[in-house]
Amino acid sequence: MTTTPDPMCDHRQLIVVANRLPVRNVSDRNGQHWVSSPGGLVSALAPVMTSRPRASWVGWSGSAGRAPDPFVHDDISLHPVELSRADVQLYYEGFSNGTLWPLYHDAIAEPAYHRTWWDAYLKVNRRFADSVIEIAEPGATVWVHDYQLQLVPGMLRAALPDLHIGFFLHTPWPARELFLRLPWREQVVRGLLGASLIGFQTDVMAHNFRHVVPRLVDGAVIDFDDQTVSAAGRSTVCKRHPIGIDVERFAEAAAEPDTAAAVEALREQLHRPRMVLLGVDRLDYTKGIAQRLRAYGELLDEDRISADDTVMIQIAEPSRTNVNGYADIRAEVEQLVGEINGKYGTMDGPAVHYLHRSHDFQELIALYRLADVMLVTPFRDGMNLVAKEYVATRYDDTGVLVLSEFAGAVHELEQAVQVNPYDTDGLKVAIERAVRMGSDEQSRRMAAMRSIVAESTAHTWAETFITELESE
């Protein structure tokens, strides 16, 4: 496949298909209105879409019930897809987050395989595909995103074979033996093969997908050199396209005087500890938060670090609160925080500052700048953009990133202190090493990681993917 830019591509209709629209409805003193949603996907795609004269985004508004009429926001035509309360429960909370999410994250939690969930997933994917078919022009470029919509490419290919269809998986793709547990495995794979280009976060994930196809599709042929799978007379490129972040936005915000003032105020509130450790995660059983807290608590117990001059901040943003397993992980995390603070908290403050709420962009930037050690230790992650965000804010090349071997980001950020998050003793060693790392080593490692993050931005990711897709 060539990647030579086609001069007609900028005039081709671009349709992005994702579970959620890039906006959310808010109520304030000005009434109800739409505002842009935060998040890496929105910031990555907005510049590309606004450069296209007929760009559209198909997705759910976030509210169950009748979908709003199509509307335009920030020069992008938005086409809401209707989801009923039953759809949210069965398609989203059920099959997407009760079946696929745990399965794709190495079955850390046991996936559930309910036929009613699958029926809803099939129905909702058809509804998304129909919404695209209704607005697609001949030869349009359609980019479908993530595990909630894996059947859409095949549905679109069957209805409109002239479309340029791409798919990107933001989560991991599991090893073959895990994926084969899925009762509807063949339908999912055939749905994905409707795309001409499938992007994965790492080479390993792309290999895992290519490796499973011949097991499920008769006559499928893999070309490992071209990274293609050929089946039913078509070829699909299945390769690594790692997502980046808006580096300039994070770097500029980190260097603002207001950020420096906010960092100074935070450090004063914490009574000026010598060392600040930070974790920023969604409250999710894949993130390894409890294991991280246990390691920190044991380091304090063993007097390898001291609560007198070290403090840990753990942000755990609420996430999918209606999905099975999330109440359990919240209870476990809060119990561990209470135990550590019961032993090591003082009148001046706790040993662990635990915040179960969302934070706005400026707050996160200040926390990234405050942190001497960033702990990114998920059990499994497609990429983990928090790691890249932290690196982008370290304009002075200070700070240490402790990074899980099982996060996609580790394949790019090789200068991080790498750790097996299942190994509590190894995690303790990694944290202790990060706390004691000298400034010269910090600078060398961080400079190398900043260079890598700067080369592979969110905008570069989007442009590269679309260019390759449209050049098929």
* Catalytic residue of the set 145, 164, 170, 353: 170
- Backbone φ/ψ region at 322: left (φ over 0), alpha (ψ -120 to 50), beta: alpha
Average pLDDT of the segment spanning 118-132: 98
- 258 and 209 in one domain? no
What DSSP string runs through 402-428? EEETTBGGGGT-TTSEEE-TT-HHHHH
Average pLDDT of the segment spanning 289-307: 97
- 191 and 277 in one domain? no
Residue 291 lies in a domain: yes
Q: Domain limits at 440?
A: 247-455
What is the percent of the chain with per-residue pLDDT over 90, rounded to a whole number? 85
Q: Which stretches of 136-288 are DSSP H helices?
A: 152-159, 176-179, 185-192, 203-216, 247-254, 257-269
Rounded to an integer, what distance in angstroms lies between the CA atom of residue 372 and that of residue 401?
9
The DSSP 8-state label assigned to residue 395 in this structure reads T
- 305 and 225 in one domain? no
**pLDDT confidence of residue 53:** 79
- 285 and 406 in one domain? yes
- pLDDT single digits (tens) 130-158: 999 999 999 999 999 999 999 999 999 99
Residue 3 lies in a domain: no
**pLDDT confidence of residue 4:** 43
- 65 and 204 in one domain? yes
- 418 and 440 in one domain? yes
Band (pLDDT 50/70/90 cuts) for residue 3 is very low
Residue 1 lies in a domain: no
CATH of the domain at 291: 3.40.50.2000
**pLDDT confidence of residue 2:** 37
- pLDDT single digits (tens) 183-229: 999 999 999 999 999 999 999 999 999 999 999 999 999 998 899 99
**pLDDT confidence of residue 10:** 59
Q: How high is the mean pLDDT of the chain?
A: 94
- Residue 441: CA count within 13 A, CB half-sphere: 11
- 274 and 139 in one domain? no
**pLDDT confidence of residue 47:** 83
**pLDDT confidence of residue 31:** 75
Average pLDDT of the segment spanning 442-468: 96
For the entire predicted model, the pTM comes to 0.94
The DSSP 8-state label assigned to residue 346 in this structure reads B
Average pLDDT of the segment spanning 360-381: 97
Q: Check pLDDT > 90 for residue 99.
A: yes
* Catalytic residue of the set 146, 246, 281, 381: 381
Q: Check pLDDT > 80 for residue 38.
A: no
Q: Which two tokens stand for residue 92?
A: 């989203």
Q: Which amino acid would we find at residue 163?
A: L
> What's the burial of 74, exposed, middle or buried (CB within 10 Å: 0-12/13-18/19+)?
middle
In this structure, of 10-19, 237-246, 335-344, the range with the lowest mean pLDDT score is 10-19
What is the percent of the chain with per-residue pLDDT over 70, rounded to a whole number? 97
- 387 and 343 in one domain? yes
- pLDDT single digits (tens) 253-272: 999 999 999 999 999 999 99
Q: Check pLDDT > 80 for residue 112.
A: yes
- 295 and 150 in one domain? no
**pLDDT confidence of residue 292:** 98
Q: Check pLDDT > 80 for residue 30.
A: no
34 or 80, which is more confident: 80
- pLDDT single digits (tens) 41-85: 888 898 888 888 789 999 999 999 999 999 998 889 999 999 999
Rounded to an integer, what distance in angstroms lies between the CA atom of residue 196 and that of residue 14?
15
Band (pLDDT 50/70/90 cuts) for residue 7 is very low
Residue 2 lies in a domain: no
- 18 and 150 in one domain? yes
Query: Is 170 part of the annotated catalytic residue set?
Result: yes
136 or 8, which is more confident: 136
**pLDDT confidence of residue 12:** 87
Residue 219 lies in a domain: yes
Q: Check pLDDT > 80 for residue 6.
A: no
- 261 and 356 in one domain? yes
Q: Check pLDDT > 90 for residue 306.
A: yes
- 158 and 211 in one domain? yes
- pLDDT single digits (tens) 219-252: 999 998 899 999 988 999 999 999 999 999 999 9
**pLDDT confidence of residue 222:** 94
- Number of domains the chain contains: 2
